[in-house]
Amino acid sequence: MKLRRYAPLVMLLLCATVALAAENTPRAAYETYREALLDGDFETFKQFIPDAQLGEWQGEDAQEKFLDLRQSIPAELKIAGVAESGEKARVLAKCGGTSGEVEMVLEKGAWKVARDEWEGDFARPAPKTPAPPVAERRPAIEPKEKPAAGNDEESVKTAYLNYRKAIMAGDLEELKNHVVEEKIKELGDDAAGTLAMIKGFMPPEVKIKGVSIDRDRATIEVSGKAALGNDAGTVELAIEDNRWKVVSESWRAGEKEEEKRAEPAAVGVSGQIAFIDNRSGQYEVHTINADGSGPKQVTKGGGFKGDLAWSPDAQKFVFSMHDISSDEDLYVVDADGGQVRLTENEAKDCFPTWSPDGLQIAFVSTPRESVEGGGGVYQSPDIYVVNSDGSQLRQLTNSGKVTSDPIAWSPEGDAVAFTSMEDNDWHICTIDVGSGEIKRLVSSDRCSSPAWSPDGERLAFSTWIDFGKPALTVMNKDGSSLKTLHKGDIKHDTIRWSPDGGKILFAMQGAQGAFSDDIYVIDPDGSNLKRLTGTKEQEKHASWSPDSQWIAYVRDFELYIIPADVSGEETKIGAKRGGHDHAVWSPK
């Protein structure tokens, strides 16, 4: 989607005021709020934020938070309906097979957006980063004759340094001579803005520490003072058009002496925690021992990574990966780094779940139908199964009614639980992996995210009851004996049974505002509700330790653990480096 140009601020404010006066409805307010987000108009955006939350949008990092929020919503969507009740309203918005949680409140006669959250994968807005002013750009580099690729370190170094010169000069045309064709596609429509963003992540000066060459591929290790405190970089190059060109460049925090000497962060905990780190601009899988020792990077290179999940024997991970120019595919990687690509097709493959024996992986796939002139339109999702070595891919459902939500393989290994939308209602279903027989267990408004109990006898899931009241619900595996464990004002996310079956954790908006998710635990009978966290930030991607005594989670891009019985304080794992996401504790 092409971004609209900024209009003068006065006119934007006037237009927003006229829109509110002309049609003061939740739908109109949400549409104007989205328009301000997509246009990068921070001042108009704040007019649609409740007063109680405005404090979260003050300070030096407010603009950065605004841009992060902008990238968390779909570039395009359809509003399917609006439910209004007094001074509250819900806007049902959809993007392909993905639905959004939009909560509205009426404040001083105007509708404000209290919550706008989306899960799953969808097309996001192009980066809104202004290009450097023309007056501040350095002179363009004079075009040089394209040299033949030399198979020596000096040729590789020269190629990288020319690439850096083009970026630091803001010379987009020259840069295209020094990056692979796939990288040029990633620059997108807002190439100048993307170039400015890349420059912002790079250190002004670098030192090349080493070069390794393997036929038509090369790796350079560099050091320098980059953004976010990163000081160690890795550059991948390849020969294309008979010359060395840059494939990727990533930066991370190098290991400091104080980190080498650091004592373990937590005592009495075991196992490993896997997480995704994006401090360098590259999304890489890392592991760290639960006591804070032994940090290790597992993957190297590639695009955005998500949907991280350990294998049952704790020897492998599955994750999804995509970049700006590709669909989303699944990969399996050994804990030591050996990688296998499971899927490669025109589709978004996500929400992988392992079979109990670790031999197969089920996932949700949303195919893309190509259209004339390039691009494509994503169709309805279905469930597929593939062996963990990438062989014997097969389609499990063929209804086109599966929603783009997490699925769960049963502990017995015979069925997969999923959410479908059919006959204008949501359903929790299971499908027999062998026969393909589908059983509809329950039909309930906005039900989603089924999670099996460890003994395979029950399912917990999120739904809405009592005319739009979110609830955490448990039922038997045949759909009987439904029991509401907890009601809230906001949807229950990240539903996880403890390995011993004695607790269920979930995340829900806390008391600190719309952008603060807290973690709770509750007994399966609905008793002993405890809130583990209560900050203004989002605690997300919570995961149980294998002994059911601890919970790992991410807050503000840092990794934490906390006792599940709230008997102690939270502990930050590892050095304060930032960029952490998708915390997953090993099952053993």
DSSP secondary structure string for all residues of 407-460: -EE-TTSSEEEEEEEETTEEEEEEEETTT--EEEEEE-TT-EEEEE-TTSSEEE
226-230, 259-263, 375-379, 503-507: least confident range: 259-263
Residue 440 has pLDDT above 80, yes or no: yes
Note the pLDDT of residue 345.
80
Q: What's the mean pLDDT in 377-393?
A: 88
Q: What's the mean pLDDT in 199-209?
A: 81
Q: What pLDDT band is residue 96 in, cutting at 50, 70 and 90?
A: low
Residue 558 has pLDDT above 90, yes or no: no
Q: In the Cβ-directed half-sphere of 188, how many Cα atoms lie within 13 Å?
A: 19
SS3 track for 94-150: EECCEEEEEEEEEECCEEEEEEEEECCCCCCCCCCCCCCCHHHCCCCCCCCCCCCCC
Residue 376 has pLDDT above 70, yes or no: no
Cβ atoms 194, 132 nearer than 8 A: no
108-122, 351-365, 396-410, 559-573: least confident range: 108-122
Q: What's the mean pLDDT in 97-101?
A: 69
Q: What's the mean pLDDT in 295-306?
A: 79
Summary mean pLDDT of the chain: 79
Q: What pLDDT band is residue 225 in, cutting at 50, 70 and 90?
A: confident
**Percent of the chain's residues with pLDDT above 90:** 29
Query: Pick the residue with more confidence: 301 or 357?
Result: 357
Cβ atoms 151, 159 nearer than 8 A: no
Pairing of strands 438-443, 493-497: unpaired
Domains and CATH numbers, the chain: 9-118 (3.10.450.50), 144-252 (3.10.450.50)
Q: What pLDDT band is residue 248 in, cutting at 50, 70 and 90?
A: confident
**Percent of the chain's residues with pLDDT above 70:** 76
Note the pLDDT of residue 517.
78
Residue 55 phi/psi, 5° resolution?
-60, -25
Distance CA 498, CA 234 (A): 39
Q: What's the mean pLDDT in 349-358?
A: 96
Distance CA 51, CA 511 (A): 15
* Phi-psi sector, 301: left (phi>0), alpha (psi -120 to 50), beta: left
Q: What's the mean pLDDT in 551-564?
A: 89
Residue 181 has pLDDT above 90, yes or no: no
CA distances from 579 to 64, 252, 535 (A): 14, 10, 19
Q: Indicate the DSSP class of residue 191.
A: H
Tokens of 476: 């038997």
Distance CA 160, CA 212 (A): 13
Q: What's the mean pLDDT in 174-197?
A: 76
pLDDT in tens, 107-127: 888 889 988 887 666 666 665
Residue 195 has pLDDT above 90, yes or no: no
Residue 137 has pLDDT above 50, yes or no: no
The closest of 6, 109, 101, 111 to 49, measured between CA atoms, is: 111
20-34, 141-155, 505-519: least confident range: 141-155
29-33, 121-125, 390-394, 475-479: least confident range: 121-125
Note the pLDDT of residue 128.
52
* Residue 289, strand partner residues: 272
Note the pLDDT of residue 480.
96
63-67, 164-168, 574-578: least confident range: 574-578
Q: What pLDDT band is residue 422 in, cutting at 50, 70 and 90?
A: confident
Query: Pick the residue with more confidence: 24 or 475?
Result: 475
Residue 371 has pLDDT above 60, yes or no: no
Query: Pick the residue with more confidence: 423 or 563?
Result: 563
Note the pLDDT of residue 505.
95
